Amino acid sequence: MSVDRPNVSEVMRVAREAAGRAYAPYSDFHVGAAVLTTGGKVYGGSNVENASYGLAICAERNAATTMAGTDPQDRKIRLVAIHSPDTAPCFPCGACRQFLREFDCEEVVVEGANGELLSYPFKEMLPNSFGPESL
């Protein structure tokens, strides 16, 4: 998969599949995400809830932690794709934006109401952000 011209549809397909594996018995709100690294790898994740509601983990963070724990040499996120069968477009929450920021996420792709892919530069999603360089 070319990183300069990523196959965004393929990444979104992984996100859609991940949404099908969401564990969301409390909210019944299903989310799937997939991150594409600058090295060309794709990692999916879904939201995972808990009887102690506040412990729910979002799809985006599950995808990003899988990436971060898999290959220490390939931890930069070229883009993240997000899908929910329950709302469109499904944008990442604030906590996930900050989490993705850690790994230099460049682009956010979501699906519009008709399934069209909508792309946003990450810097627009989290302007003036705090990151590793700030420390």
Q: Provide the β-strand partners of residue 33.
A: 45, 82
Alpha-carbon gap, residue 81 to 8, rounded angstroms: 8
Instruction: List the catalytic residue out of 60, 102, 124, 133.
Output: 60
Q: Does 37 bind ligand THU (CB under 6 A)?
A: no
Least separation, in Å, of the C-beta of 69 and ligand THU? 18
Question: What token pair was written down for 45?
Answer: 């994740």
Least separation, in Å, of the C-beta of 3 and ligand THU? 24
By CB under 6 A, the residues from 46 to 105 that bind ligand THU are: 47, 49, 56, 58-60, 92-93, 96
Instruction: Please confirm, yes or no, whether 133 is among the known catalytic residues.
Output: no
DSSP 60-88: HHHHHHHHHHH-TT---EEEEEEE-TTSS
Output 4 or 28, the one with its CB closest to ligand THU.
28
